[in-house]
Amino acid sequence: MGQNGRKVVITGLGVFASTGKERESFFTNLINARSGVRRISQFDPSPLSVQIAAEVPDYNPTDHFQPKRLDLLDRFTQFALLAAREAMESSGLEVREEERPRFGVVIGSGMGGVQTFESGCFNVYARGATRLHPFTIPKVMHNAPTSQISMEYGAQGPSFSTSTACSSSAHAIGAAFHLIKYGQADMVLAGGSDTPITMSMMRSWESVRVLANGNGNPASACRPFSADREGFVMGEGAGILLLEEYERARRRGANIFAEICGLGMTSDATHITQPSVDGPARAIRLTLEEGEVRPDEVDYINAHGTGTPLNDVTETEVIKRVFGEHARRVAISSTKSMHGHAMGATGAIELVATVMALERGVVPPTANYTRPDPQCDLDYVPNQAQERPLRAAISNSFAFGGLNAVLLVRRLKSDPM
């Protein structure tokens, strides 16, 4: 291993989200600015003031899992497994028995099995239940997807879960990147999953006053960086990527989507909900430093871009501070405008979008952009995708609690532009 560690590449992509239940439909919908936001269907949202969310449509668990297995799987674990299956299939990876101790799983979740937990609480407090399902605890625990994926694929290497609110899956992918880079694993399935669309979660987020209600038009509810933005839309989903040591991937003839080459992690250490400029700016600088990529080599930023008034202004200032004059040349977009904010899963879902943009030279737009905000004065790729050659891209994840994670991906240096 060299002084700077081993090269790490992405050889598998899987996604299960409101805008697509696999990566091709997901990316096609993104570049065509098709929203996954609609009226909530999992329960009657009539008592809520915000009745919309970015749900995965027409989902039937028994189409994918045997009933007996479903007894062990909360919705967020189901989604993680489905995204992991696509990542493994797209990678063409076949793990031999002797390689399993070098094969890991790292999955992030901000909420865990909230649907099982909420159902259990309702049965206890509203129905007076004295006993709950015996697998309630294995279903609600945050590490359930990690354990279920490791069992499905026989992964016996470093495996764990991360929970840092909206940065959970970005931290998970970053941890997996370092496990491979510094020789503790050769292959890692990494990403995140969250399914927070429940009555109590929606009530809770209503109280924070950061949700957009859409004013009768759900598809255009989330308007990041636009002057008339009013908040984010709750989403759900999962994104899983297969990370692999480069030489191993090359020897087996794997299709390499991109190289992952940098991770920046910081804490604002200032406020539990209000964003900072300093912490995210340091995180971006750290990821560029690790990846040995100059700021002017970054051609695309998948922004955290929640659509809240304060967050978007802060992120704009962060980008200006790090990139200087290049900030006005780089393409910036928030895909949350279409797939919603899937909490701990969002970083992974957005990295899938970022990698596909890098691979195909097409930047997905920020949908629903209506008019510029003088404090948000960069190129947010409004409403229409842009075709352009991309060398390197970053994906930003900035969480409540001031916990930041920024991932850097680039085309392999041997790839022609």
pLDDT along the chain (417 residues), means of 10: 81 98 98 98 96 97 96 97 98 97 98 95 90 92 98 98 98 98 98 98 95 90 97 98 98 98 97 93 98 98 97 98 98 98 98 98 98 98 98 97 97 65
Q: How far apart are CA 17 and CA 349, in angstroms?
A: 8
* Block residue for tokens 């895909």: 335
Amino acid (one-letter) located at 86: E
To which H or E segment does residue 191 belong? strand 187-194
pLDDT of residue 416: 44
Question: Which stretches of 188-332 are DSSP H helices?
Answer: 199-208, 246-251, 278-291, 309-323
Q: How far apart are CA 205 and CA 367, in angstroms?
A: 23
User: Which CATH architecture group holds 263-410?
Assistant: 3-Layer(aba) Sandwich (3.40)
Contact by Cβ (8 Å): 170, 395: yes
Query: What are the phi and psi torsion angles at 102 (to 5°)?
Result: -105, 15
pLDDT of residue 278: 97
Question: What residue spans in the chain does CATH classification 3.40.47.10 cover?
Answer: 8-251, 263-410
Please state, as a whole number, how many other Cβ atoms lie within 10 Å of the Cβ of residue 378.
Answer: 20
Question: Which residues are bridge partners to 341 per DSSP?
Answer: 234
pLDDT of residue 4: 81
Contact by Cβ (8 Å): 302, 397: no
Angle, vertex CA 305, rays to CA 24 and CA 412, nearest 5: 50
Q: How far apart are CA 318 and CA 329, in angstroms?
A: 15
pLDDT of residue 3: 53
Query: Where in the sequence numbering do the catalytic residues fall?
Result: 166, 304, 341
Report the top-level CATH class of 8-251.
Answer: alpha beta
